[in-house]
């Protein structure tokens, strides 16, 4: 498997590589970080962007063994939700996460950058799980546990529980059989 991270222009230059470094400790996949792409424009007077608009900027590879996750600094919303930490389109093999709300409480704090990298890594892993066909997990420590608020993200671990790992290993995409 290969995971490609695509930063949007609103993301600090070094941050995507730092997130990729953290992900390497969890995912035994090839990881690539591409050059930044433009951020989605606001469709209305709202400061948040539609998650679907961010996905439309990303280019799916069309390969079953390659996934793409965008990282934006813009606040994202989806359907009936005022905000989302991340959003996935499994049928396209692409997802996006937002650093906007993940930054809360990290600025000017000792260890703040490390906390932001940890939160972003959890959200990337969560969206990768959705891209691989996983739903939300009822295990609070699993990265696939649903995060309704930032404290939920902080409480969960930066890895998949045994049940989710087992499920991922059974998925056709994991074996390259699509």
| Confidence tier at 172 by pLDDT (50, 70, 90) | low
Q: Which of 114, 137, 123, 150 is nearest to 26 (CA)?
A: 123
Q: Is 127 a catalytic residue?
A: yes
Of 118, 123, 127, 167, catalytic? 127
Read off the tokens for 171. 């998925």
pLDDT in tens, 75-120: 999 988 899 999 999 999 999 999 999 999 998 889 899 999 999 9
In this prediction, residue 170 has a pLDDT band, given cuts at 50, 70 and 90, of confident
Convert the pLDDT of each residue in 1-58 to its tens digit: 999 999 999 999 899 999 999 999 999 999 999 999 998 877 665 678 999 999 999 9
pLDDT of residue 6: 97
User: What is the tally of structural domains in the chain?
Assistant: 1
Contacts of 14-22 with C-beta under 8 Å, sequence gap 24+, read 15/71, 15/99, 15/116, 15/117, 15/120, 16/71, 18/113, 18/117, 19/71, 19/117, 19/120, 19/121, 19/124, 22/117, 22/118, 22/121, 22/158
Containing structural domain, residue 109: 2-175
Q: By the 8 A CB rule, do 33 and 42 touch?
A: no
pLDDT tens per residue across span 144-156? 999 999 999 999 9
CATH number, domain of 148, equals 3.40.390.10
Q: Is the dihedral of CA 114, 37, 69, 155 positive or negative?
A: positive
Note the pTM of the prediction, 2 decimals. Answer: 0.91
């Amino acid at each position: 498997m290969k995971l490609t991270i695509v930063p949007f222009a609103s993301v600090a230059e070094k941050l995507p590589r730092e997130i990729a470094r953290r992900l390497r400790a969890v995912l035994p996949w090839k990881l690539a970080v591409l050059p930044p792409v433009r951020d989605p424009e606001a469709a209305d007077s709202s400061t948040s962007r539609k998650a679907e608009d961010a996905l439309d900027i990303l280019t799916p590879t069309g390969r079953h063994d390659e996934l793409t996750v965008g990282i934006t600094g813009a606040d994202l919303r989806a359907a009936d939700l005022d905000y989302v930490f991340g959003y996935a389109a499994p049928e396209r093999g692409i997802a996006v996460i937002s650093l906007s709300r993940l930054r809360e409480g990290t600025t000017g704090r000792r260890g703040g950058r490390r906390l932001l990298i940890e939160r972003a890594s959890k959200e990337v892993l969560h969206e990768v799980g959705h891209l691989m066909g996983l739903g939300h997990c009822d295990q609070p420590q699993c990265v696939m546990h649903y995060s309704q608020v930032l404290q939920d993200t902080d409480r969960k671990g930066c890895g998949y529980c045994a049940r989710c790992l087992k499920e991922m290993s059974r998925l056709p995409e994991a074996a390259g059989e699509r």
